[in-house]
Amino acid sequence: MELNEEDKEQRKFILVQLPEKIEETEEAFLAGFKKISDITIERNKRVVGKLIEEKRKQHPNLFNSSQEDDSIKGLGFKVFKLVKSNFPRVEWAPDPDKTSEENIASLKKYIQDREAQLVTLFNREELITEILLKNGFTLNYRLIKQQQFLKNEMYLATDGEKETLICLDTEIQMETVEYFKTNFERRLICLERSLDTTKKWNLKHFLKEILMLFRQNQELKYYG
C-alpha cells in the first residue's frame, strides 16, 4: 500500500494467514489477540489509518466529514475466511421402507425446509460473495445501494470490469418489476422464490438472458 502511494500505481494483493492460536502467555494474547490472523488484520488497519492521516495532513482543505478525496477511497481491505458453501449438496435420499407417496411427501418437505433456511439462516454478505465469485467477480467488488428502488433492497455489484444488480429480498415487488420493463441493460440476480408466475414471466420477457434466478439447491438458473 505504501509503494502504491509512492509511485501512484494500483497494485492489488491477496494475503493468506492461517488462524493459528496465540499462546495465552504471549503479550499479543494479553492485548486481546486470539489468533495470528487477528494481528494481521490489525496491522493492515493501522497501515490504512496511517496513510489516510498523512494525506489529511498534507491536504487539509481536501478532506472533510462529508466529502473524501478520490485518492483515499481505494485505501482499505476486505477480510474473508473459508466456510462451507451456501449451496450444499442435496442430502435427501428415498427411504426404501416407505411407499412412493411417502417418499414424495418427504422430498417436498425437505425442499420446503431448505428454501426456508435459505431465507432465515443465510448470511447475506457471505451469500452475495459466493454468488459473485461463481460469476467471475473478483474479491475487490463493491456494493452500491440503488436508491431508485423504493420497495426492494437492490445493490449494484461491481469490480471495475463486471457488474450486476443483485437483490436477496424474499419478495420482489411489482414496482421493481415495472422498473425493468424500461431499464433492461443490466443483469439482475434474485431469489427464484421471490417471484410469482406473473412477475417471473415479465422479468424473463424483458431481461431475457440477463435474468439470473437462484435457489439453494440448484444454484443459479439462467434464462434466455
Q: How many CB atoms lie within 10 A of CB 67?
A: 7
The stretch 2-12 carries a mean pLDDT of 85
Q: Predicted confidence band at 27 (pLDDT cuts at 50, 70, 90)?
A: very high
- pLDDT tens per residue, range 35-45: 999 999 999 99
pLDDT at 51: 87
- Cα–Cα distances (Å) from 157 to 106, 117, 193, in that order, read 38, 24, 21
145 backbone dihedrals φ, ψ, rounded to 5°? -65, 135
**Tell me: the pLDDT tens digits for 50-75?**
888 888 888 777 655 445 555 566 67
What angle (nearest 5°) sits at the alpha carbon of residue 11, between those of residues 10 and 16? 145
| H/E segment holding residue 201 | helix 197-207
- Please count the other Cβ atoms lying within 10 Å of the Cβ belonging to residue 210: 19
Tell me what pLDDT residue 147 has. 94
The model's pTM is 0.67
CA-based end-to-end distance of the chain: 43
Instruction: Find the range with the poorest average confidence among 43-47, 93-97, 103-107, 214-218.
Output: 214-218
Residue 162 makes CB contacts below 8 A (sequence gap 6+) with 135, 136, 137
pLDDT tens for residues 152-200? 999 999 998 999 999 988 899 999 999 999 998 899 999 888 899 999 9
